[in-house]
């Protein structure tokens, strides 16, 4: 029974998942610090108030704390923007740059004999004269 458990734990997927969770938690802390320490003061400079938790209204004796909700919405928007602009957009640019060179040109094909690039409509290779199928 312990042998099966050991195989399960040391299987690549479980370890990869554990590493991903730990790195995700650390990254979450970094993004939270970025939003709290850098982006929220920008909003405070523009709006004049960094904390909306005091905003509330009362209807028939029931107090609605809309400030806490606004704080959560602003924090979510800032975290989402930070993740997009500092992680997703740069990774998309890097991925595009790396895969651009390997894109297949539909107007070209490779000769199976000499491996040179020839037009897709060619019936004979210009370099080795092999008839193309």
Is the predicted pLDDT of residue 103 greater than 70, yes or no? no
Band of residue 46 on the pLDDT scale cut at 50, 70, 90 = confident
16 and 39 share a domain?
yes
64 and 125 share a domain?
no
| Over residues 10-35, mean pLDDT | 80
Q: What is the pLDDT of residue 59?
A: 92
12 and 56 share a domain?
yes
96 and 110 share a domain?
no
Is the predicted pLDDT of residue 110 greater than 70, yes or no? yes
Band of residue 10 on the pLDDT scale cut at 50, 70, 90 = confident
88 and 39 share a domain?
yes
Band of residue 35 on the pLDDT scale cut at 50, 70, 90 = confident
17 φ/ψ sector (left φ>0, alpha ψ -120 to 50, else beta): alpha
26 and 73 share a domain?
yes
Q: 56 with 65: CB under 8 angstroms?
A: yes
Q: What is the mean pLDDT of the chain?
A: 82
Band of residue 11 on the pLDDT scale cut at 50, 70, 90 = confident
13 and 50 share a domain?
yes
> Which residues form the domain of 41?
2-102
What percent of the chain has pLDDT above 90?
Answer: 3
Q: 127 with 116: CB under 8 angstroms?
A: yes
Q: How far apart are CA 104 and CA 73, in angstroms?
A: 44
């Amino acid at each position: 029974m312990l042998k099966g458990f050991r195989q399960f734990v040391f299987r690549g997927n479980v370890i990869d998942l554990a590493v991903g969770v730990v790195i995700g938690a650390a990254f979450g802390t970094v993004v939270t610090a970025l939003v709290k320490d850098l982006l929220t003061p920008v909003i405070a400079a523009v709006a004049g108030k960094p904390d909306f938790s005091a905003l509330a209204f009362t209807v028939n004796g029931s107090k609605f704390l809309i400030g806490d909700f606004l704080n959560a919405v602003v924090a979510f928007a800032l975290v989402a923007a930070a993740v997009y602009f500092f992680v997703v957009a740069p990774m998309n640019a890097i991925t595009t740059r790396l895969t651009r060179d390997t894109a297949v040109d539909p107007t070209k094909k490779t000769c199976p004999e000499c491996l040179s690039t020839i037009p897709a409509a060619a019936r004979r290779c210009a370099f080795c004269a092999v008839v193309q199928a």
